[in-house]
Structure 1
Amino acid sequence: MKRVGMAVAAGFIAALGLIVSLGLLGTPNGAGDNGDGYRLFCTAGLSPATPDHKASWLGGVVLDFGRGTPCPDPQPSSAAVLFKAVADGDGPFSLTSLGWLYALLVFLVTGLAAWALLARGWRRLALLLPPVLPLLNPDFARLFLSTFGEPAGLFGAYTLLCGLAVIAGTKVEDGFERLTALLLVAAGGVVAGLAKIGFLPLFVLAVLVCAVTGARAGAGRWWSGRLVGPLIAVLLVLEIIAPIRANLAWQERNYADVNAVNVVYTLGLVELPGSAAELGLPEAANQSAGKAYYPDGPEQLAGADVLLEEPSAVKGKVWSLLLAHPAALARAIGIGLQATHGRDLPYLPNHPWGAATKAPDNSAPVSGDMGGNPQTFREWLDNMSLPWWPSLLVLLGLAGAVIALLRRRVWTNRAGLMAGVSVTAALGIAVMAVVGDGYFEIAKHVWLAAYLLDAAALSLCVMAAPVVYRFVREQLTRRRRPAAPVAEPEPQSEPTPQAG
């Protein structure tokens, strides 16, 4: 009962922190719509309770919805499943209900992970700090009150990391605890991977983690503990094939032109200057480098009419050129990681919309973190402090994973596995964002990668904490230890005079 009580307390603390960060007991703190929210709320047949029944670019977060007509081609997403779980029914709907749902889910996941870790002692609850603390950061938490797919991705990533924390804090012999960890990793990978196609690296990593993790109940044969994880990994792959294909098909139906224009103009022509001819575009297209599909539309981009005749073919040429120029590809991925500094997404307002809320101009913003204007985008990157830190953190996280594999007997060292998986997932999301949609709205596309990098940094801190503690203790002990007394020299006896 004591173990269960401590686990419930841990879950309650994490959920309460999220509730406070979201302002669910006061003024809600959410994220305004940039036009993508329609994909989610139309799935549940909702209509924003605004004069024009729209929610995008209003200068605030639309919290209240009425009932409308479901959209004819809803986006297949785990976010839609969770949204409909609280939005189905009759009468008005408040977005705060979604925030309460995520708070409840965080309570359950945290409590379950804490219960499993307590099997090896309360100190191992420190392994939950890396996923929990960044989750309470308002830059991340506020998107739980939004109509985006990102909240489901964040919850999935959090669940996966909690499962990793249990794996790091237990052993193969802890059968039920390890099985709990595998279920958390699997569930987190599915929810995150199906939230939006850009988060698919989290699912891939969940499959790999399950495939190499053992769980043996009791004193069974050594090989019996190696079958559960791979079996779960196989089931995951079989279960998710159809949803991923449906998500890719939906993306191709609705955003093939948009993605192709953004990849060619904001990425290809920027990182490979003067490459319009190699892409089959007129030379004038080089003059439009850095400009995106939004806000002005492809009509303002030279050569876009040629591109839109075969968008997939031209986009494929960009990918081929980047593979042929590894330095340009590495630079693009580095910019994607650097964009994680823009986690606050200032163009998405956080305060609730009301009748007196002043809406911005009719056009979408062209601020740097939107990546739709080459000048403001470059200024935004140049004004960042420590732009190299995300890339360095990726290297440190991978090094921590290697150390954890070599010295895994110490449980704090195994936090390096959490760091390694986190930075690998962040790197994968950055790659997917850059090659999938160029630099357009790059800060939002790598927003989940920013959470994973924060979790990786804290995992490395947990890993280094005992080493730092021992070093500081030794230094203090040396200062407090009294110096050994210096022995006084014995007086020398005078020589005895000899008789003459």
Structure 2
Amino acid sequence: MKRWGIAAAIAAVAALGLALVLGLVIGSPTGAGDNGDGYRLYCSAGLIPATPDHNASFRGGVVLDFDRAAPCHEPQPSSAAVLFKAVANGDSPFSLTEVGWLYVLLVFVVTLLAAWALQARGPRRLLFLIPPLVPLLEPDFARLFISTFAEPTGLFGAYTLLCGVAVIAATEVDDGFERLSALVLAAAGGVVGGLAKIGYLPLFVLAVLVCAVTGARAGHGRWWSGRIFGPAIAVLLVLEIIAPVRANLGWQERTFAEVNAVNLVYTLGLVEMPGSAPGLGLPAEAQQSAGYAYFPKGPDKLIGADAVLADPSGVKEKVWGMLLDQPFVLAHAVGTGLQATYGRGLPYLADEPWTPAAVQPRGTGRVSGAMGGDPETFRQWLDGMSLPWWPSLLVLLGLVAAVVSLRRRRRWTTRYGVVAGVATAGALGIAVMAVAGDGYYEIAKHVWLAAYLLDVAVLSLAVMVVPVLVRRARELSARRTARPAES
């Protein structure tokens, strides 16, 4: 009961902190305005924005109020839609703040279970909650919990997955029920996060790998009994997700095949591989349109776009083949995607509530640098960043830390490297999916979740390294003190 009491107190603090950041308790709600993607989610619940033109896109604020309408014909298959409809179903007018409260409740439940399980080896290991929880409360991440995007569901899934990984790192195989709780958290996080949108599928892959290599022995069974639960859950996850992933891929291909192909070719392919237009079946003059995306002007302004629209899947495969043949170009593209995690604030998405008196900001037809829609603003945005190499270096450090922590598990602080490794692997996977799926268009939003994962890795590495540095400093100080005494 004491452990549950401590866990409940920590979960309540986490939930209250999130509610305060979202402005659900004091002040006005803070969310993320729609950029046109929100329709995919709210239409599935039969909602329509309560604005004069029933449009929520680029309104200069976050549209919180919705009226009822007929559900759309083909909504996006997503775990985000499942959660959204769970709170939005009904006949009365709907407020987006209800979605924010749903995530507050879900964060409370996940934190409660993780905090209870982490105390299996003593209360000090509650510190394992710090890396995944603290970044979750950053306004740049938390505000999207009040939005009509799929991203917050991915964020909640990533948080749940990392809580499970933290419990695994802090416990042993013989901590049966705590380890089983960790496996449940990791599996649930992988499913919820990985199915939020196809670009977050790496979260599911990580959940499967984590479960496959994790032991959990309930009671005093034989030695091999501790190796059954994790792999069994991993197999069940793979079998369970096949149909949803196929549905999501099919929807993406039917709905955005042309858009994705144009963005991939013009914002990444022609930019990173100048002169590749003929190899893609485009006229050589198409190089003049390099860096420009499908939106906001449309493909009519792009030289050779008709060839891309005629065979979007074939052209995308050609770009992928060229990137695989030039690994240094691919590495640079992924590095640019990781660098774009600096744009986590998504400044082009308003955060204050929309009111009838709100005025749509000027220049919304011009693509900002963080949106990656034209070469000039995008390059200026990237060049204005300090330490552009840091996110890529952080991924390398996180992966190395994971290897070190798995080989040296005697000190429990070194096990934070496991959390850092999973977080950085997830960030790398999301960056790869982003650049390979839609080029550099809206790259900051597409790698927004990777920014959260990198923040988790930073905190994990700090907790892992700082005690070592302090210990070394004390040993050095003790040696210096001992030398004069001996003489």
| Same structural fold, with TM-score higher than 0.5 when normalized by the shorter chain | yes
Q: Report what 2:462 is aligned to.
A: 461
Between structure 1 and structure 2, the one with the greater Rg is 1
- The one-character-per-residue Cα deviations of 1:404-454 (angstroms, maximum 9, x if unpaired) are 111012221111111111111100000000010000000000000000000
Q: Report what 2:192 is aligned to.
A: 191
Matches within 5 A, 1:143-222: 143-222=144-223
In the alignment, the residues of structure 2 paired with residue 321 and residue 479 of structure 1 have an alpha-carbon distance, to the nearest angstrom, of 59
In the alignment, the residues of structure 2 paired with residue 478 and residue 139 of structure 1 have an alpha-carbon distance, to the nearest angstrom, of 46
In the alignment, the residues of structure 2 paired with residue 243 and residue 213 of structure 1 have an alpha-carbon distance, to the nearest angstrom, of 25
Q: Report what 1:138 is aligned to.
A: 139
Contact 1:194–1:244 (CA<8 Å) still a contact in 2? Answer: yes
In the alignment, the residues of structure 1 paired with residue 23 and residue 477 of structure 2 have an alpha-carbon distance, to the nearest angstrom, of 44
Deviation at 1:365, TM superposition (A): 3.8
Deviation at 1:472, TM superposition (A): 4.0
Does 2:13 match 1:10? no
Amino acid across the alignment from 2:269: G
Does 2:377 match 1:357? no
Q: Report what 1:489 is aligned to.
A: none
Q: Report what 1:88 is aligned to.
A: 89
- The one-character-per-residue Cα deviations of 1:282-306 (angstroms, maximum 9, x if unpaired) are 1121100000000000000011112
Contact 1:57–1:364 (CA<8 Å) still a contact in 2? Answer: no
Deviation at 1:364, TM superposition (A): 3.7
Deviation at 1:465, TM superposition (A): 2.9
Contact 1:295–1:363 (CA<8 Å) still a contact in 2? Answer: no
1:23 to 1:478, Cα distance in 2 relative to 1, 3 A: farther
Number of aligned positions between the proteins = 486
Does 2:63 match 1:71? no
Amino acid across the alignment from 1:454: D
1:481 to 1:29, Cα distance in 2 relative to 1, 3 A: farther
Q: Report what 1:256 is aligned to.
A: 257
Contact 1:276–1:286 (CA<8 Å) still a contact in 2? Answer: yes
Q: TM-score w.r.t. structure 2 length?
A: 0.98
Identity %, equivalent residues: 71
Deviation at 1:478, TM superposition (A): 6.3
Amino acid across the alignment from 1:328: V
Secondary structure of 2:73's counterpart equals: coil
1:485 to 1:423, Cα distance in 2 relative to 1, 3 A: closer
In the alignment, the residues of structure 2 paired with residue 260 and residue 251 of structure 1 have an alpha-carbon distance, to the nearest angstrom, of 12
Q: Report what 1:495 is aligned to.
A: none
Secondary structure of 1:296's counterpart equals: coil
Q: Report what 2:128 is aligned to.
A: 127
In the alignment, the residues of structure 1 paired with residue 356 and residue 99 of structure 2 have an alpha-carbon distance, to the nearest angstrom, of 22
**Unaligned runs of at least 5 residues, structure 1:** 487-500
Secondary structure of 2:67's counterpart equals: strand
Q: Report what 1:112 is aligned to.
A: 113
In the alignment, the residues of structure 2 paired with residue 364 and residue 205 of structure 1 have an alpha-carbon distance, to the nearest angstrom, of 38
Secondary structure of 2:330's counterpart equals: helix
Matches within 5 A, 1:94-493: 94-361=95-362, 363-474=364-475, 483-484=484-485
- The one-character-per-residue Cα deviations of 1:89-118 (angstroms, maximum 9, x if unpaired) are 111111111111101110110110010011
In the alignment, the residues of structure 2 paired with residue 479 and residue 106 of structure 1 have an alpha-carbon distance, to the nearest angstrom, of 49
- The one-character-per-residue Cα deviations of 1:240-298 (angstroms, maximum 9, x if unpaired) are 10000000000011000000000000010000001111111011211000000000000
Deviation at 1:307, TM superposition (A): 1.4
In the alignment, the residues of structure 2 paired with residue 471 and residue 353 of structure 1 have an alpha-carbon distance, to the nearest angstrom, of 54
Deviation at 1:363, TM superposition (A): 4.5
Deviation at 1:483, TM superposition (A): 4.7
Q: TM-score w.r.t. structure 1 length?
A: 0.95
Deviation at 1:480, TM superposition (A): 7.4
The structure in which a higher percent of residues are helix is: 2
1:273 to 1:409, Cα distance in 2 relative to 1, 3 A: same
In the alignment, the residues of structure 1 paired with residue 329 and residue 268 of structure 2 have an alpha-carbon distance, to the nearest angstrom, of 10
Deviation at 1:469, TM superposition (A): 2.8
Amino acid across the alignment from 2:323: L
Deviation at 1:355, TM superposition (A): 1.1
In the alignment, the residues of structure 2 paired with residue 426 and residue 266 of structure 1 have an alpha-carbon distance, to the nearest angstrom, of 21
Deviation at 1:326, TM superposition (A): 1.1
1:304 to 1:119, Cα distance in 2 relative to 1, 3 A: same
In the alignment, the residues of structure 2 paired with residue 64 and residue 120 of structure 1 have an alpha-carbon distance, to the nearest angstrom, of 47
Amino acid across the alignment from 1:158: Y
Amino acid across the alignment from 2:330: L
Amino acid across the alignment from 1:264: V
Secondary structure of 1:42's counterpart equals: helix
Amino acid across the alignment from 1:287: Q
Most deviating of 259-268 and 211-220: 211-220
Q: What value does the CA root-mean-square deviation take over the aligned residues?
A: 1.4
- The one-character-per-residue Cα deviations of 1:145-202 (angstroms, maximum 9, x if unpaired) are 0000000000000000000000001000000000000000000000011000000000
Contact 1:366–1:372 (CA<8 Å) still a contact in 2? Answer: yes
Secondary structure of 1:308's counterpart equals: helix
Amino acid across the alignment from 2:251: W
Secondary structure of 2:45's counterpart equals: coil
Secondary structure of 2:66's counterpart equals: strand
In the alignment, the residues of structure 1 paired with residue 235 and residue 476 of structure 2 have an alpha-carbon distance, to the nearest angstrom, of 51
Most deviating of 265-274 and 402-411: 402-411
In the alignment, the residues of structure 1 paired with residue 297 and residue 28 of structure 2 have an alpha-carbon distance, to the nearest angstrom, of 35
In the alignment, the residues of structure 2 paired with residue 234 and residue 409 of structure 1 have an alpha-carbon distance, to the nearest angstrom, of 30
In the alignment, the residues of structure 2 paired with residue 115 and residue 294 of structure 1 have an alpha-carbon distance, to the nearest angstrom, of 48
Secondary structure of 1:47's counterpart equals: strand
Most deviating of 475-484 and 324-333: 475-484
Q: Report what 2:19 is aligned to.
A: 19
In the alignment, the residues of structure 1 paired with residue 304 and residue 364 of structure 2 have an alpha-carbon distance, to the nearest angstrom, of 23
Secondary structure of 1:412's counterpart equals: helix
Amino acid across the alignment from 1:22: L
Deviation at 1:485, TM superposition (A): 8.8
In the alignment, the residues of structure 2 paired with residue 334 and residue 78 of structure 1 have an alpha-carbon distance, to the nearest angstrom, of 29
